[in-house]
Amino acid sequence: MRVEEGWLTGVRRVVSPHCDLRPAEEKPSLLIIHNISLPPGQFGGPYIDQLFTGTLDPEAHPFFAEIHTLRVAAHCLIRRDGEIVQYVSFNDRAWHAGVSQWQGRERCNDFSIGIELEGTDTQPFTAAQYQSLVSVSELLISEYPISVENITGHSDVAPGRKTDPGPAFDWAGYRHALQAQP
């Protein structure tokens, strides 16, 4: 796997319209980790792809009536089995962080990459997810001006509004795995 023109090679691609151009000369310098499950607490199925492409059927589940009009997408999703799905080129601004701030800078979408892990705040993520996340993170660090210190959770850029990736996310293990890479 490598990055070519902002896209990962060898992963499933589902192109989202929920993105636009980054500000001129802006390169991603922050990686934001999220979690998502649709319906809440359930894994698998087509619903995350549908949400991120604006095709979620509000009749498919009662919760979807509340969210089907959202225009959101992360750059990538890592499913429970470790499968990586990319929705937006890393060179473009995906609409994943919303109202946000990092180290005094607002509008984190302008300068960040968002990766969703299929999961919840309270259920442990899988070993396959961590393995894929470390692989993608290493690639992003090598391609963009992102450092290990500039990898954070959605809860850290939108405190009080967001809680993901949640207490079940193993920050220590993830950071150790990143540092152990050659």
Active site positions, annotated: 116
Q: Which amino acid is it at 123?
A: Q
How far apart, in whole angstroms, are the C-alpha atoms of residue 114 and residue 33? 6
What are the residues facing 13 on neighbouring strands? 86
Tokens linked to 146:
């992102």
Residue for token pair 């999703």: 77
How far apart, in whole angstroms, are the C-alpha atoms of residue 116 and residue 150? 16
Half-sphere exposure of 103 (CA within 13 A, CB side): 8
